[in-house]
Amino acid sequence: MDRQTVFRTIENFVKLRSGLTSHIAPDARFREDLDLDSLLVVDIVIDLEKEFDIVLPEEDLARMATLDDAVSLVERLLGAPAAGPPPTAVPTGKAA
């Protein structure tokens, strides 16, 4: 997925949750510039996790201050192999 698509997707979630209608600059800060409270930011994070099928680590969320930070984080996570469920034991047919 290209950076522009990731940006537009995140921008749309921010607009949906915040009620903003105009273009949002990549360097717009969630709290200071967009006036989003922590609950709205959490809602946006949940939207992103569902949309991109990723988990945003808490330690990275603390550094996610701008829209561009969110784009970079999502891109990094999309480039990493998905962490699926742990492998399950395959029955061998032998009794224990």
Positions marked catalytic: 37
Q: How does DSSP assign 40-91, residue by residue?
A: HHHHHHHHHHHHHT----HHHHTT--BHHHHHHHHHHHHHSPP--PPPPPPP
